Structure 1
Amino acid sequence: MLRKFRDGIKGRAGKVLLAIIIVPFVLFGAESLLTGGGGPAAVLEVNGQEVDGAQLGQELLMLRNQTAASMGENLDYAALSEEKLRPQAIDRLIEAALVEQAFDILALSTPERMIQQSIVQTPDFQVDGKFSNQQMSRVLADNGFNLNTLKQRLAEEMRIGQLRSAIAQTSFVAQANTDLLIKILNEKRRADLVEIGPEQVQPAEPGTAEIEQFYAEHQTDFVTRRSVDVEYLLIDQQDLLEPVSDDDVRAEFDLQIAQFEASERRRVAHILLEVGEEQSEQAAIEQAQALSARIEAGERFADLAKQYSADSVSAEDGGDLGFTARDGTFP
């Protein structure tokens, strides 16, 4: 899921798409993408369970990222519009709600340990074959995720997979099939055997006309495979190699060096302050200003990140998100 989006943002077209996603964040904030600027009003109801605008907005954003990643460099902006993606996002939310309700009826659940194991085994979160908190934080941040959203999505996918598997492995036998099987098992047949010895068979030599008639009726049985004679010339690549001098290599390097440039990378750390029911946007702004003042007064950024950041993964590393390109997700 994350690999598709990460591969999709490479190249010029990917950067254009990334700019389209980032501009609303800069101008209106993340909430405008998820709720349209208002509170989380219900947009649909599934058996009495409400689905609000925030959930629909999040599903639309995730579906848009996945669709764009599958297009590669050839982006179809019409296919990425809300008008095109909204029906698919609603179907996903309905399916997830129905599966969740079915799990509640069946008293089933997805163990937290299974979700954690899936996260640890995700290749995108590994460095040299081992799970890395820093790598996970970087990948989640690049794709607009947080740890809670990732766990929720994994739990939904696991529940859907378990329910589908249970249904697929369930079987029943129709009465008609049972009756047919009983008839076959109880079926009886009578056979008569007549033995004919060689002395009872009169040998006969076929005539020319009979041979020709048999050949005409079975011509395909006497067709041989077509064969051809082939002549070829073997050219060894080693025989065509010509030595290249150091001066020629240096001249070609000087000619091509203008095509390459190193991009600046910066190390990023953050303190995530969430805005929601427990804390208003104004309260979060005031807290951020207070933390900024404490940092300027000499307190360590890492200590404050461990104490106040809502990002539990990066908080353990003092808010550190690792290195990122200057034109990447972070400034």
Structure 2
Amino acid sequence: MIRILQRDNAFTKVIFALIIGATIVLMVIFLVPGIFDNGAAGDATLFATVKDPGWMGRLSSGTPVTMQEVQNLARQQAARQQIPPAYVQQLMPMLMNRAGQIEVERQVLVHEADRLGLQVSDSDLATFLQHGPYADALFPEGKFIGQDKYINFVEQFGLSVTDFETQLKIDLELQRLESLITGGVTVSDAAVHTEALQAGTKVKFDYAVLSGDDVKKSINPSDAELETFFKQNAARYANAVPEQRKISFFAFDNSQLPGGAPAVSDADVQSYYNGHVAQYKTEEEVKTRHILITVAKGADAKTDAAAKAKAQDVLNQLKGGASFADLAKKYSEDPGSKDTGGELPMIPTSGLDPAYAQAAMKLNPGQTSDLVRSSFGYHIIQTEEKHGAGAKPLSEVKDQIKAQLVSTKAAAAAQNYAGQLVAEAGKNGLQKTAEAHHLQVTTTGFLKPTDVVPSLPDSTQLMQSAFVAKKDAAPQMASTGEGFAIFQVADIQAAHAPNFADAKAQILDNYRSQQVPEILQAQLIKLSNRAKELHDLKKAAAELKIPVKSSDLVGRDAQVPDLGSMGGPAAVVFSLPQGGISAPINTGTIGTVIEVNEKQEPTADDLAKAVAQTHDKMLQEKRNEVFGIFVGTLVERYAKNGGIVYSKKQQAAQQSPLGQ
């Protein structure tokens, strides 16, 4: 090879130059971060960009996940979770981060589905609209409602026809991907039988309860032991007494502003309303009851038909005069509403399944629908109250706007006044400035960062600012909620370890807490072993002076005092024979040992009925598990190989413990 390159051959030199050039280009692609990100990382309108992983993906622009898309999804999630509006803004960073990850994951799945050739054609979409969950709304009695009504149907979801159909195609494509990945998933008949048997089994039992709090109270170390513990954990207590600061300040509220409270005219209110009318728009919303017979995603025609028949039977009973609430409690498969007779709160229709929303809005209050097919299954809907989209009139919000404008103007005036006082105090000192404006200087004692200043409406900002300021630095201002405080840090006491005597109570509590898990487990083991030796839990518990309680006949959906849900750690009782005694069940704060007194298994007929339902449930859970693992692995591969490029803001947010 060396000899070939040494020859004076122009062709050889050209080839060699091309090889070197290609190598340099590849090194740039792979080794220079963000070289082909096309500005995605710095674009404030983007949450992230999703590309094909690997070097080919780095040459493409990718698919953007916009901040607007993420914000829309976050608001929809807040509505579905019924988060009070007062808390939505506070929780928005967390909601945005979660919604952004959902959108990124969705785009990764779309890229993978495209790679596998699972795209949905126009013909596929037309078939879905005609025969899927939207069929009753768009093709009543098999006839298309017409293009104008179709546009109206789509617009109620805030989408154009193009966007609506694009989203449906993506949804169907992702369903194909999920079916491809999970199509081979099975559950064994033995596992289904065991699960159905345990789910239908009821037990009555005795249980001895050991409380972690009681164990904690029984731990009484000597002072010598506590001092040894204190010395052994010196690093833990090194800064146990936090830094404390003295703060000198004077404060004013809005009633003390020079010139008094600012005035707001009707013209000001009208102008604000005209410029912010979008704030007063109201969404279309509806309050309903419903009875749901679920149909699992991807269910076959036979399963769908069986669910529809069951729903029709319930509807017939309703038409025959039966109570809607009673039927909902008996038949509905929506766990969130069945116990309240199918009652749902007032919900914006944008947060509901489209078919459900359209059917509910068509009904007048008090009317009940026929069967409605949604993506969840078959519903019977009763509309109780509904409101169309619109805007609140000025008369309804006038007082609110006026109060807001007064508050805004007062806040601005207070901030300007505080700025003047800070400048004046910087020249003349806090005391002289306060006296000149008929205000009084206060100096606190030593305060911790979590302490409050009782004389202020809200001292949060003052404490935060004071604990980053330097001693005797120039005066600063901090909002008090109803005005401002002008302050300086008068003295600082550094964080330090406490004296043993001063911290003895806390050291004792820490010592006990550290000992509890080990002692609790040891006592549970002793109890369980002794109960098995005697074949009698009550006798063993009496020997050890541990109280014993008895349960009712309960199933896995029951709640038992001290044990909580029987679907949790205590579920082991359903696998025990009658007379069986459990191993220790330790939740950390509560420990128990159980002896089964009575065991009632389902009849053969009940078990046979439960097996089919259990099979579908277990199969869907297994499919969800398999697909979840696939999604996690896929997203990790995309992220590792440059397929996900987050904006710089999101990169910083993901390093925060709170996500944003």
TM-score normalised by the chain length of structure 1 = 0.34
TM-score normalised by the chain length of structure 2 = 0.18
Larger relative strand fraction: 2
